[in-house]
Structure formats: structure tokens, C-alpha cells
């Protein structure tokens, strides 16, 4: 039996420091769980001079990832540099050289995960990627193993802490989007270029991975419908509150009779739903299984130590298998590849849900009836209306909530309404998820 697991780390950044600190502080507990030491024997990064919160013995440092890939004594390569290349090439080479891999790279897995997992199977090696989705929350392990007795039909939740922090500040403190974003950047919750977070792309990467694992398909990023929060107006946050809703950037995956919905967009959810109370940079995910019913996982979705903890959890899993001579005890996405199926994905035009509209209309008699007439002609039924007398940029806001409607009917209606001479600007559309209300309601 081996007396230590030798690890090579590529990427000595925030998450790399979290991994190193966790391994050091919890070394005794980790060895007690695994039975062998976990030794980081090489650390590669192009920048070895910037100060870090966690130091590394200078003798272990290198600027060349190849030094790790070419070292036959290293058992596991941890890739934490992010991006598509050279991360993909490093992982493929590590597998070819007989090394197991751990990564936190959700963008890479969303784009190339199917290829990477096939390569791992070919090489008889494993890939751990718990840290790629929801940071310190053990979401993927829960889906792949803890819920393996279930047929999962629903997964939805908050998977991006940056967007949730911004929406929390807009809701609770009345900050406009630009100010809330600037604050998130000052606190380190948002990057200088926040596009991946605020445009919903980061959430889409995570949903592509989690939904494949939930429904037994390959990863299909190109099938995920994506809208971000960049265009959210404070006025809509305030109107949503008047109707008893909170606005969240939700990742939504549903399997209804073999037809899958995959979408990411700003969503109104009832104030009494537990997801509505998820504040700041926290993540939360609701899952429904046919045997277990409804569950929700909650915690920090990013950060040095939470994400570092998830990386180390993968190392522990790999070490346990290695000490027993086991490979691929659990398939990467939970389902054996020969049993995987490509369920059809429902086009966004065919999605049925409820809607929030805000029209900017002139203040004259008959406006409401004209708008209602167009909606009715397209099979859209109105559930509630708020009409404010105050002018906003030369127009009066009219806010409507609908009953369930088909997306393509909604789009056709709004195109017609926006052409009316009584409307002053494009209509604001947000989707409502009341089906979350009968899932997990707060007491």
C-alpha cells in the first residue's frame, strides 16, 4: 500500500491557496479518512512573485506546468488556472501520462467535458470536478451519489454569487444596477470584467454540468437558453416587491416526460419561497427526486476556502480509490455511458410559464384596453395589473402579471404592442416561477 499521494498543482491562485490551506490545517483529519498522507510536491504558476495568503516552499515552485506533467512520481494533477486553453491541453496530457485529474474549471467542462471524460475512460483514470459547480456546496456529489436512487425531474437555484449579491443590494437597499455592481467589484465579488457573471454565462456553464448529471445526458451547453441581469431596472425590482416577489438569477432544469428545459434568466419567485431569502454571495439549489421529494442545498458558492474545500474533497475521493486499486467506481456524470441518452431539449419558444410585463405608455384613456386586446388575441390571460400615475421618462408604467402562457405567444404579443403609438419604448419582460412555490416553502 502506498504511504502518500503525491499531488502537482497547476495554478497558485485564490482557489489553489484554499486547497493548500485546507490540506495543511486539516492534514490529521484527512489522513484519518484516507489512511495515507496527501503531499503537494510541485506547484506551477507563471507568476511566482506576487504575494499570496498561503506560502509554498520555494523548492516546490516552477513556472512550467510541464515539470508536473512529466514527473512520473505525481499521482494527481490539480488544474486551477481556469479558461479553456492551455487548461484543456494540460488535463488531456495529464490523463495520457497516467495521472488522475482534479479541476474547478466549469467553463472548460461545459465546453469540453464530454471529450475529457472520454479521454479519462480511455486512459483508465478519473476526473474530479466537485468545485466546478456551487463552490463549497457538495452539489455534484449529492446528485451523483446521494440521490442515485432517484429519478430527478427538477433542479433550479442560484448558482452565481456575484449576480445574487447585486440583486440583493438592489432589492434591500435600492441601489441601481451599476452602483450595486461597482460595490461588488470593490468587495471582490465581481471581476473587473463581470460579463461571465452578470450575463448569465457562468451560471449556464454550471447548469450544463449539473443537468447532465441529473438527467443522464452528455453536457450540452449549446442547448441552454441564457439571459443575464445587466438590463435589470431598479423599477422592476420595486414593482416585483409590490406583487410579493423577489428577483433572482435562476438556473432552471426540468425533465417533463422526457422533454428537458434548460434555461438561465432573471426570475421572479414568491417572497415566501426559501430561495427568496438567499442573500449576498450565497448559492442555493433545489432538487426534486421521485423518491426523496424536495431537498435544498445552501452555502457559499465561491471563495478561497469553500472552493478549496471542494477540491480537497475530490482529492480524498481519488485517494480512497487509489489505495484500494479502484478506478471509475462512479462514472463522472453518474450514469454509465452506455446508458446515457440525449433527451430532446424544449425550444425556448415552447416554454410555458407566467410572465411579468412593464409597459411604458402614454397617459390617456383606452391604453389598458388596447394592450389587453393584443394579449387576449394571442391567448395571454392577465392575472394582475398595477398602473401608476407618475411619469417615468415621459411615460406611465403599466405592470401586468399573466397566467401561464407560451413564450412564442408572448414574444409575438410584445412585438405588436411595442409598435402601438401609445407605447413609448420596448416592453420589459421577466419570467415568473410559481412552480417553485409548491416545492420548498418557508414555514
Q: Report, as ranges of residue numbers, the positions in the chain whose pLDDT lies below 50.
A: 437-443
Q: Which residues are catalytic?
A: 206
295 with 166, same domain: the answer is: yes
59 with 181, same domain: the answer is: no
Q: Which residues make up each annotated binding site for NADPH?
A: 106
118 with 240, same domain: the answer is: no
> Which residue range forms the structural domain that includes residue 254?
139-300
Looking at 313, 339, 365, the residue that finishes a domain is: 339
Beta bridge pairs of residue 406: 352
How do beta strands 37-44 and 100-103 pair? Answer: unpaired
100 domain residue, yes or no = yes
pTM: 0.95
- Hunting for cell 441581469 — which residue is that? 229
295 with 328, same domain: the answer is: no
Q: Which residues make up each annotated binding site for NADP(+)?
A: 10-17
pLDDT the model gives residue 390: 66
176 with 190, same domain: the answer is: yes
148 with 293, same domain: the answer is: yes
pLDDT the model gives residue 436: 55
Q: Which residues make up each annotated binding site for L-homoserine?
A: 191
- Distance in angstroms (rounded) separating the CA atoms of residues 241 and 275: 15
10 with 155, same domain: the answer is: no
Q: Which residues make up each annotated binding site?
A: 10-17, 106, 191
Looking at 314, 339, 364, the residue that finishes a domain is: 339
443 domain residue, yes or no = no
292 with 318, same domain: the answer is: no
CA-CA distances (angstroms) from residue 33 to 7, 29, 308, 323?
17, 6, 17, 12
344 domain residue, yes or no = no
32 domain residue, yes or no = yes
260 with 326, same domain: the answer is: no
- Hunting for cell 442555493 — which residue is that? 284
What length is written for the chain? 443
231 with 328, same domain: the answer is: no
Domains held by the chain: number: 3
315 with 377, same domain: the answer is: no
DSSP string, 312-349: HHHHHHHHHHHHTT---SS-TTSS-GGG---PPBPPGG
Q: What is the CATH number of the domain that holds 379?
A: 3.30.70.260
279 domain residue, yes or no = yes
441 domain residue, yes or no = no
Q: What is the CATH number of the domain that holds 252?
A: 3.30.360.10
345 domain residue, yes or no = no
168 domain residue, yes or no = yes
416 with 365, same domain: the answer is: yes
Local structure of 387: helix, strand or coil: strand
Amino acid at each position: 500500500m502506498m504511504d502518500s499521494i503525491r499531488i502537482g498543482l497547476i495554478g497558485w491562485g485564490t482557489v489553489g491557496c484554499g486547497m493548500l490551506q485546507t490540506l495543511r490545517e486539516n492534514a490529521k483529519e484527512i489522513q484519518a479518512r484516507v489512511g495515507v498522507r496527501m503531499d503537494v510536491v510541485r506547484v506551477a504558476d507563471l507568476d511566482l512573485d506576487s504575494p499570496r495568503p498561503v506560502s509554498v516552499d520555494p523548492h516546490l515552485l516552477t513556472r512550467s506546468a510541464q515539470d508536473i506533467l512529466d514527473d512520473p512520481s505525481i499521482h494527481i494533477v490539480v488544474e486551477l488556472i481556469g479558461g479553456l486553453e492551455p487548461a484543456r491541453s494540460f488535463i488531456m496530457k495529464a490523463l495520457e501520462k497516467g495521472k488522475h485529474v482534479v479541476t474547478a474549471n466549469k467553463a472548460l467542462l461545459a465546453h469540453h467535458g464530454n471529450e475529457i471524460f472520454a479521454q479519462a475512460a480511455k486512459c483508465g483514470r478519473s476526473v474530479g470536478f466537485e468545485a466546478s459547480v456551487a463552490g463549497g456546496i457538495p452539489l455534484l456529489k449529492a446528485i451523483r451519489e446521494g440521490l442515485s436512487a432517484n429519478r430527478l425531474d427538477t433542479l433550479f437555484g442560484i448558482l452565481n454569487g456575484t449576480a445574487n449579491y447585486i440583486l440583493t443590494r438592489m432589492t434591500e437597499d435600492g441601489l441601481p444596477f451599476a452602483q450595486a455592481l461597482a460595490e461588488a467589484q470593490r468587495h471582490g465579488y465581481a471581476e473587473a470584467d463581470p460579463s461571465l457573471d452578470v450575463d448569465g454565462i457562468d451560471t449556464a456553464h454550471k447548469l450544463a454540468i449539473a443537468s447532465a448529471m441529473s438527467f443522464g445526458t452528455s453536457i450540452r451547453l449549446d442547448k441552454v437558453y441564457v439571459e443575464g441581469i445587466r438590463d435589470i431596472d431598479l423599477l422592476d425590482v420595486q414593482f416585483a416587491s409590490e406583487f410579493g416577489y423577489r428577483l433572482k438569477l435562476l438556473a432552471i432544469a426540468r425533465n417533463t416526460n422526457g422533454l428537458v428545459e434548460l434555461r438561465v434568466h432573471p426570475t421572479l419567485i414568491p417572497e415566501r419561497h426559501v430561495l427568496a431569502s438567499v442573500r449576498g454571495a450565497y448559492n442555493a439549489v433545489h432538487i426534486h427526486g421521485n423518491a426523496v421529494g424536495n431537498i435544498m442545498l445552501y452555502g457559499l458558492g465561491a471563495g478561497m476556502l469553500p472552493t478549496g474545500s471542494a477540491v480537497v474533497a475530490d482529492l480524498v475521493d481519488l485517494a480512497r480509490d487509489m489505495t484500494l486499486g479502484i478506478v471509475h467506481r462512479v462514472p463522472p456524470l453518474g450514469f454509465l455511458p452506455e446508458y446515457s441518452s440525449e433527451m430532446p431539449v424544449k425550444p425556448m419558444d415552447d416554454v410555458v410559464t407566467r410572465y411579468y410585463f412593464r409597459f411604458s405608455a402614454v397617459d390617456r384613456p383606452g391604453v389598458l384596453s388596447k394592450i389587453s386586446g393584443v394579449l387576449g388575441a394571442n391567448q395571454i390571460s392577465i392575472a394582475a395589473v398595477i398602473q401608476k400615475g407618475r411619469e417615468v421618462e415621459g411615460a406611465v408604467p403599466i405592470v401586468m402579471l399573466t397566467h401561464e402562457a407560451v413564450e412564442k405567444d408572448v414574444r409575438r404579443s410584445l412585438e405588436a404592442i411595442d409598435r402601438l403609438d401609445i407605447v413609448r419604448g420596448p416592453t420589459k419582460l421577466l419570467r415568473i416561477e410559481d412552480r417553485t412555490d409548491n416545492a420548498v416553502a418557508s414555514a
